[in-house]
């Protein structure tokens, strides 16, 4: 099983881009990295994925444009999910 990590922001097609890989790589869960201002989009994605029984977790960051902050979150997720295959 896979754990999918997705960085959510101002993309208008984020849901579509996220759903397509789940057909080929069924995830155990999806972790969304997002800023607080994109939480509503994250909640919508979470609600849509509930019908497929895919759990969604949020990892909040202060600034999506800060690659350092994003990579720190990914590193922490990798430590936490060390026995899983990660798809970013």
The pTM (predicted TM-score) of the whole model is 0.87
Paired tokens of 24: 């080929």
Let me know: does 70 contact 60? Beta carbons within 8 Å: no
pLDDT in tens, the chain (88 residues): 789 998 888 777 777 777 776 777 788 999 999 999 999 999 998 998 888 888 999 999 987 678 889 999 999 999 999 999 998 8
The Cα 38–Cα 28 span in angstroms is: 23
The alpha carbon torsion through 12, 14, 77, 51 (nearest 10 deg) reads 130
First to last CA, the chain: 14
Please state, in angstroms and rounded to a whole number, the distance separating the CA atoms of residues 72 and 75: 5
């Amino acid at each position: 099983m896979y754990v999918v990590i997705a960085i959510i922001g101002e993309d208008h097609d984020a849901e579509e881009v996220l759903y397509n890989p789940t057909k080929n790589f069924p995830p155990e869960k999806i972790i969304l990295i997002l800023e607080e201002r994109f939480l509503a989009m994250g909640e919508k994605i979470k609600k849509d994925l509930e019908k497929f029984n895919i759990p969604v977790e949020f990892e909040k960051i202060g600034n999506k444009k800060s690659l350092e902050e994003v990579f720190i979150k990914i590193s922490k997720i990798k430590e936490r999910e060390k026995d899983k295959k990660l798809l970013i």
